[in-house]
Amino acid sequence: MGQMVDLNLSGIILPDIRGSPLATLPDLYEASVVELQAGLDAGQFTSVDLIKAYFARIDEVNLKGPQLSAVLEMNPSALAQAAELDKERKLTGKRSMLHGIPILLKDNIGTVASEGMNTTAGSFSLLGSVVPEDAGVVKNLRKAGAIILGKANLSEWAHFRGNIASGWSGRGGQCTNAYFPHADPCGSSSGSGVAASIGLVAVTLGSETDGSITCPSSNNNLVGIKPTVGLTSRAGVVPISDHQDTVGPIVRSVADAAAVLSVIAGKDPNDNFTLAQPSPVPDFTKALNPNALKGKRIGVPRKVFLNDSISGNDPFVNVAFEAALDTIRGLGATVVDPADLPSAEEIAVSNNETFVLDVDFKIQLNAYFAALLKNPSGVRTLAELIAFDNANPALEEPLQFQDQSQLIEAEATTGMNASYFQSLADDKDLGATRGIDAALKEFNLDALILPAPGLTTVPAAIAGYPIVTVPLGFYPENVTIALAGPQTVYPAPGVPFGLSFLGTAFSEFDLIGFAFAYEQKTQTRLARKAFLEAIPKTQLKDILASN
Domain for residue 14, yes or no? no
Give how far the C-alpha of residue 142 lies from the chain's centroid of Cα atoms, to the nearest Å.
19
Helix (H) or strand (E) holding 469, with range, is strand 467-474
d(C-alpha 198, C-alpha 220), whole Å: 9
pLDDT at 6 over 50: no
Tally of domains in the chain = 1
Predicted pLDDT at 21: 36
Domain for residue 105, yes or no? yes
Percent of the chain with pLDDT over 90: 96
pLDDT at 118 over 90: yes
d(C-alpha 269, C-alpha 313), whole Å: 41
d(C-alpha 459, C-alpha 432), whole Å: 7
Mean predicted confidence (pLDDT) in 15-27: 59
Q: What is the pLDDT of residues 226-274, one digit of tens each?
A: 999 999 999 999 999 999 999 999 999 999 999 999 999 999 999 999 9
In order of 194, 226, 369, 372, 478, the CA distances from 481 in angstroms are 20, 29, 41, 44, 9
Mean predicted confidence (pLDDT) in 437-443: 98
Instruction: Find out whether 29 and 12 touch, Cβ atoms under 8 Å.
Output: no
The pTM of the full predicted model, rounded to 2 decimals, is 0.96
CB count within 10 Å of CB 10 equals: 12
Predicted pLDDT at 465: 99
Domain for residue 7, yes or no? no
Domain for residue 179, yes or no? yes
Mean predicted confidence (pLDDT) in 211-216: 98
User: Residues near 346 by Cβ (< 8 Å), separated by ≥ 6?
Assistant: 430
Q: What is the pLDDT of residues 423-433, one digit of tens each?
A: 999 999 999 99
**For residue 23, what pLDDT band results from cuts at 50, 70 and 90?**
low
Predicted pLDDT at 15: 38
Q: Which amino acid is at 527?
A: A
DSSP-assigned letters across all residues of 126-181: GTT-B-SS--HHHHHHHHTT-EEEEEE--SHHHH-SSS--TTEETTTEE---SSST
Q: Across all residues in the chain, what is the average pLDDT?
A: 95
d(C-alpha 530, C-alpha 426), whole Å: 42
In order of 33, 186, 207, 259, 282, the CA distances from 141 in angstroms are 14, 26, 15, 11, 16
Domain for residue 373, yes or no? yes
Predicted pLDDT at 1: 34
Domain for residue 23, yes or no? no
Domain for residue 2, yes or no? no
**For residue 522, what pLDDT band results from cuts at 50, 70 and 90?**
very high
pLDDT at 5 over 50: no
pLDDT at 10 over 80: no
pLDDT at 416 over 70: yes
Domain for residue 26, yes or no? no
Give how far the C-alpha of residue 497 lies from the chain's centroid of Cα atoms, to the nearest Å.
14
Predicted pLDDT at 307: 98
Catalytically active residues, by annotation: 106, 188, 212
d(C-alpha 301, C-alpha 299), whole Å: 6
Q: How many residues does the chain have?
A: 547
Q: What is the DSSP letter of 77?
A: T
pLDDT at 545 over 70: yes
Q: Which of 12-16, 208-212, 393-397, 531-535 has the lowest mean pLDDT?
A: 12-16
Instruction: Find out whether 482 and 489 touch, Cβ atoms under 8 Å.
Output: yes
pLDDT at 84 over 80: yes
pLDDT at 299 over 50: yes
Q: By residue range, what is the domain housing residue 508?
A: 33-545
Predicted pLDDT at 235: 98
Predicted pLDDT at 16: 41
Mean predicted confidence (pLDDT) in 342-360: 97
pLDDT at 8 over 60: no
Q: What is the pLDDT of residues 371-410, one digit of tens each?
A: 999 999 999 999 999 999 999 999 999 999 999 999 999 9
CATH number for the domain spanning 318: value is 3.90.1300.10
